[in-house]
Amino acid sequence: MNWCCGSLEGCHSNVGCRGISVFVDDGDGLPAFVLQARALQVEDSDALPNMTIPLTVVSELTIVFCPWCGTKLDEHYESTWPELLRSDLRSQAY
């Protein structure tokens, strides 16, 4: 994989884990680059803590440019985006 920068590579290696990650979703047939922040690991999402205040478990944003280096993602990953595909991680209602 020819990564645009080390930060995006590091965030892609964090998919499904607590923290910030980047992956591709192709739900509508076209690649969408997703910046996702998770409060819990994927496997921990069934065991939400009993909170008296609201907790955002997953927050995500579709991005066009790399937040760290500014590369236009669909152009840079034009032929390799399927390697970044993780549509299964797109947030769901918990």
pLDDT tens digit sequence for 50-84: 778 877 778 999 999 999 999 999 999 999 999 99
What average pLDDT score do residues 13-41 get? 91
Specify the pTM.
Answer: 0.84
Per-chain mean pLDDT for the chain? 88
Instruction: At 63, list the tokens.
Output: 């991005």
| DSSP strands (E only) in the chain | 19-25, 32-38, 58-63
What is the pLDDT, as a whole number, of residue 73? Answer: 98
What is the C-alpha to C-alpha distance for residues 25 and 3, in angstroms, rounded to an integer?
18
What is the pLDDT, as a whole number, of residue 84? Answer: 96
Helix, strand, coil percent values for the chain (each to nearest 5): 20, 25, 55
The CA-atom distances, in angstroms, between 18 and each of 1, 11, 71 are 24, 11, 25
- Does the structure show a pLDDT above 50 at 94? no
